[in-house]
Structure 1
Amino acid sequence: MRIYRTPSSIMLAGKAWEIRAKLKVYAKEFETVQQWIQAGDYENTKIIPFPTTKQSPF
């Protein structure tokens, strides 16, 4: 599973059960998605910044 973030959004990519489980974890810490985005403490997590330019997967 991957979590991509931009300054104004978060995108979760993975299997449905993985995303549901991750959302349950974050729901215990944040009441809204807006609070999750504004928290901004992503340096110590596995959240990947969303690429601003297209990159080849190869």
Structure 2
Amino acid sequence: MRHVLSALNALPNTHAEEVQIGSARVVTDTTPGTIEHALATAGYPAVVESQVQ
């Protein structure tokens, strides 16, 4: 979970509020595709399922 947290928090204007096995809650200005790419690059393929604005 630490690697996922690091990958998310490395993105500009992004803060991972909570990371659990299988899910994360993130506050960000970036796109879902950017999040998915960053996690896949870190070895953790992911799909952004919802967005709250």
TM-score in same-fold range (> 0.5): no
Q: What TM-score do you get using the length of structure 2 for normalisation?
A: 0.34
User: Looking at CA atoms only, which structure, 1 or 2, has the larger radius of gyration?
Assistant: 1
| Higher-RCO chain (CA-CA 8 Å, sequence separation at least 6) | 1
Q: What TM-score do you get using the length of structure 1 for normalisation?
A: 0.32
